[in-house]
Chain A
Amino acid sequence: MSEKIVISPTSRQEGHAELVMEVDDEGIVTKGRYFSITPVRGLEKMVTGKAPESAPVMVQRICGVCPIPHTLASVEAMDDSLGIEIPKAARQLRELTLAAHHVNSHAIHQFLIAPDVVPENLFTTAVESVSEIRKTAQSVVETVAGEGIHPSDVRIGGMADNISEVARKRLYARCKQLKPKLDAHVELIIGLVADKGFPEGLGVTNAPTLATDILYGDRENFDLDRFTEIMPESWYDDPEVAKRACSTIPLYDGRNVEVGPRARASVYGGFTERGVVAQHVARALEMKTALSKCIDILGELDTSAPTMADFDVTGTNKLGVGAIEGPRGMDVHMAQVADGKTQFYSCLVPTTWNIPTMGPATEGFHHEFGPHVIRAYDPCLSCATHMIVVDDEDRSILKNEMVRI
């Protein structure tokens, strides 16, 4: 006798999604399906036909959680399409911005999972340390990228300005000062996750991992030819789910994949653990990697070096790719510029990759663990939804049935 458990929307994650689990008599999940119910964003249409500079400014407004990775993926795609080689200092400043954002965003996630893993007597300590870490990270983004939320100095061709020598020294000192605090915090989180006693093997899937870099992203490591995208009807065997799902299913080598901190650590860091605990551990450890990166860059940055390349925005119609490793995984933007206007734009945002992987990851364990599995992936669906057309033949559009928040 199988029963269906539906959690809608799943909680303490960004964006709206539904988890449908079929369970057996013991409550063990036999089939898990996870899908986005966040309304369509229509981003690609919005930037098409406009000047290339419009894209980064608009995509950073898709979502209030990841404005930084989207801006970076967008300028990287434009740089690639326009054939721009950005100066070294610009690259360092971009890497610094993203590394600081990783620290901030992972800390936010620890705030989200705190009710799951932090005992009452340690709650204040954990939340205060999250807050302190975030303040330093946010200061770095604010100083380096112009604004803390919408990084206005991240531009096609590089960065609008270098930072001053005074700012470099100040941020360097602040990041160094944060290091012991962050190390202790990471240790605390890893310890608390271990103490939680999640069952062995929870959240383990056989999906391959996909990442382009240990922290920043590298378009050379994303092979467009190995990527395909299918409609939810072809993926979910439950027609009700397929009809309600608001995003397409991206596949790499024909398979669903896992992206994010654990995937990065596994592809580039020799990290072999899998499952819920491994997700939390890899994410926490990545905060250390990211802070070290901030310190390294701030230590060696030449603040008198140029940060903008000379370029021509006319474009040659080359399909440019920007691959950025966002906190939740690989964020790929593609842009094609000709005659000074964006002719084509597409985004493959981090959680879209994990959507088909998260459902099966709940299988084999009691359904009460379902939400823990989902949260371990830190899903963010605010920007994931980009499916409008339901029938490629007659171009009919999922409008009347579109889920509205």
Chain B
Amino acid sequence: MPYSAEIIVVGCGNILFADDGFGPEVIKALGDYSKENPLPDNVMLIDAGTGGPHFVFSLPHEEWKKMIVVDVVQFNAEPGTVRKFSVDEIPEGSYENVHSWPVNQPLHDLANVCEVMVIGCKPEHISAPDVEMGLTKSVEDAIPEAIKLILKEIGVS
């Protein structure tokens, strides 16, 4: 079955829209990190891009114990600030994506099945609908901090 692991780390966002690519970039960096420092077998990294609601959140797996979503989050802080958000802090419907996917608040629904959290970074610049590849410096610099928080959640640091 797809995504069979106890801890799922899902990077969400579009790499074509500047800081919106934070989630996938963190997954990539974490993948590189894990080559030297292998992650436990019960962890799976997924670069979900913009397909999170379609390809991951709507296919809950009985093995899932913890879902760590990595994404940009608009909150009151300096760009590049990273912190953990509980699912209750994420407004309901924020993952009801623009394409009218009918799974209302899929993350809230998932929270009934497993522990759900968001490692969020305040973006500096999101270019959509214009294409701009690459993160701004403040958000790029936030990647190590995000990895630190994720490793803590995975239980390896």
- The residue among A62, A149, A402 with the most chain B CB atoms within 10 A of its own CB is A149
User: Which residues of the partner chain B approach A305 to less than 8 Å between Cβ atoms?
Assistant: none
Are B50 and A131 closer than 8 Å at their CB atoms?
A: no
Stretch binding the partner chain, chosen from B93-101, B113-121, B136-144: B93-101
Chain B interface main SS type: loop
Instruction: Give bound CA distance, A404 to B101, whole Å.
Output: 19
Per-residue A-contact encoding for B86-108, CB less than 8 Å = 1, 0 else: 00000000000111111000000
Are A138 and B2 closer than 8 Å at their CB atoms?
A: yes
Identify 15 new A-B residue pairs, CB closer than 8 A, beyond the known A43-B131, A64-B50, A64-B54.
Answer: A15-B98, A45-B131, A64-B97, A65-B99, A67-B49, A111-B58, A138-B2, A138-B59, A139-B1, A147-B47, A148-B2, A149-B48, A149-B49, A150-B49, A382-B99
Q: Does A12 contact B (CB under 8 A)?
A: yes
User: Which residues of the partner chain B approach A142 to less than 8 Å between Cβ atoms?
Assistant: 2
Q: Does B130 contact A (CB under 8 A)?
A: yes
Are B100 and A11 closer than 8 Å at their CB atoms?
A: yes
Q: Give the size of the chain B interface in residues (CB under 8 angstroms).
A: 30
Are B50 and A63 closer than 8 Å at their CB atoms?
A: yes
Are B16 and A46 closer than 8 Å at their CB atoms?
A: yes
Which residues of A are in contact with B by a Cβ distance under 8 Å?
Answer: 9, 11-16, 39-43, 45-46, 58, 60-65, 67, 108, 111-112, 115, 131, 134-136, 138-139, 142, 147-150, 380, 382, 402, 404-405
Question: Of the candidates B2, B14, B53, B97, which one forms a contact with A61 in the assembled complex, judged by CB atoms under 8 Å apart?
Answer: B14
Say how far B23's CB is from chain A's closest CB, in angstroms. Answer: 12
Q: A64-B49, A64-B51, A67-B49 are in contact. Are A112 and B2 (CB under 8 A)?
A: no
User: Which residues of the partner chain B approach A41 to less than 8 Å between Cβ atoms?
Assistant: 129, 131
Are B59 and A135 closer than 8 Å at their CB atoms?
A: yes
Smallest Cβ-Cβ distance to A139: which chain B residue: B2
Smallest Cβ-Cβ distance to B4: which chain A residue: A139
Chain A interface main SS type: loop
Say how far B71's CB is from chain A's closest CB, in angstroms. Answer: 13
Question: Of the candidates B46, B50, B102, which one forms a contact with A112 in the assembled complex, judged by CB atoms under 8 Å apart?
Answer: B102
Say how far B3's CB is from chain A's closest CB, in angstroms. Answer: 8
Are A67 and B102 closer than 8 Å at their CB atoms?
A: no
Question: Of the candidates A13, A63, A134, which one forms a contact with B100 in the assembled complex, judged by CB atoms under 8 Å apart?
Answer: A13
Q: List 25 A-B contacts (CB under 8 A).
A: A9-B100, A12-B102, A40-B129, A42-B129, A42-B131, A61-B15, A61-B49, A64-B52, A64-B97, A64-B99, A65-B54, A67-B51, A108-B54, A108-B58, A111-B58, A115-B102, A131-B58, A135-B59, A136-B1, A148-B2, A148-B3, A148-B46, A149-B48, A149-B49, A150-B49
Among B9-33, those with CB < 8 Å from A are: 14-16
Are B51 and A149 closer than 8 Å at their CB atoms?
A: yes
Are B99 and A14 closer than 8 Å at their CB atoms?
A: yes
Instruction: Give bound CA distance, A9 to B16, whole Å.
Output: 24
In the complex, the 9 A-B pairs of residues with the closest C-beta atoms, listed nearest first: A64-B50, A64-B51, A39-B129, A138-B2, A14-B99, A149-B51, A149-B55, A139-B2, A46-B131
Which residues of B are in contact with A by a Cβ distance under 8 Å?
Answer: 1-3, 14-16, 46-56, 58-59, 61, 97-102, 128-131
Are A64 and B53 closer than 8 Å at their CB atoms?
A: yes
User: Which residues of the partner chain A approach B98 to less than 8 Å between Cβ atoms?
Assistant: 15-16, 405
Are A150 and B47 closer than 8 Å at their CB atoms?
A: yes
Instruction: Give bound CA distance, A40 to B14, whole Å.
Output: 15
Instruction: Give bound CA distance, A45 to B52, whole Å.
Output: 26
User: Which residues of the partner chain A approach B58 to less than 8 Å between Cβ atoms?
Assistant: 108, 111, 131, 134
Instruction: Give bound CA distance, A402 to B129, whole Å.
Output: 10
Smallest Cβ-Cβ distance to B52: which chain A residue: A64
Say how far A400's CB is from chain B's closest CB, in angstroms. Answer: 14
User: Which residues of the partner chain A approach B56 to less than 8 Å between Cβ atoms?
Assistant: 149
